[in-house]
Amino acid sequence: NPVGSIYSKEELTQIAKVLEGTQITVLSDEMYEKLRYDGFDFVAFASVSKDALKRTVTINGLSKCGAMPGWRFGYMASKNKALISAVKRLQGQSTSNICSITQHAAIPALNGECDKDIEKMRQAFEKRRNLALDILKQIPNISVYKPEGAFYLFVNIQKIEKDSMKFCQKLLEQEKVAVVPGIGFGMDGYFRLSYATSDELIKKGLERIANFIASY
């Protein structure tokens, strides 16, 4: 997020080597681990070396891969017992625990009962990604990175408008299409859109974006 890129095991191993001998803790957000396309493999950062395992705090949950946004089911794992203990004290006084209904709802997703459904969802996202990319490639003066995972596209509009906030505000006002300005990710001149919706809405939304760009 926002580009949907995936690090290879070799890249993660090199990053881990750079960190050896430091006091840096790695926070690894792996929420999109099952939403991968084109045969890309998922590699957990903590798995690449013994040193990486010691320094990594892994964050995961079911909002994305389990299609459970709003259920607020997340978890973290680390070999750092002192850190986990401190987090438990803080979390216990702020949110107490995951509600019982959510805990029961999460069981099928955690024990593998939903794996076939998750795979169907992944395949649907891959088709929607390809659909959106095919349409975007036909729009002049923009470019887009082909994501290997998640469900976002990060569109380069620098040839049209470098102020992403201005572009997105006008797009919302004129075409009623909501996208996220790239400046929020430190990249002005880009916007992020999500293809976690129906084929029909993807086509309709991108048609409006194309019309907007043509008249910009």
Query: What pTM, to 2 d.p., does this model score?
Result: 0.90
Write out the residue range of the structural domain in which residue 21 sits.
9-110
192 & 138 share domain: yes
- Domain count for the chain: 2
**Residues 93 and 55 both lie in one domain:** yes
**Do residues 83 and 29 share a domain?**
yes
Q: How many residues does the chain have?
A: 216
Q: What is the CATH number of the domain that holds 194?
A: 3.90.1150.10
Structure tokens at 63: 């909002």
160 part of a folded domain: yes
DSSP code at position 182 = G
* Residue with token string 């001998």: 21
- Per-residue pLDDT tens digits of the chain, which is 216 residues long: 899 999 999 999 999 999 999 999 999 999 999 999 999 999 999 999 999 999 999 999 999 999 999 999 999 999 999 999 999 999 888 888 889 999 999 999 999 999 999 999 999 999 999 999 999 999 999 999 999 999 999 999 999 999 999 999 999 999 999 999 999 999 999 999 999 999 999 999 999 999 999 999
pLDDT of amino acid 95: 84
Last-in-domain residue among 110, 141, 162 = 110
In a domain, 1, yes or no: no
Q: Are 207 and 133 in contact (CB under 8 A)?
A: no
Strand partners, 75: 60
Q: Which of 92, 110, 128 finishes a domain? A: 110
State both tokens at 48.
Answer: 């690449």
The tokens for 97 are 């625990």
C-alpha–C-alpha distance, residues 165 and 172, integer Å: 11
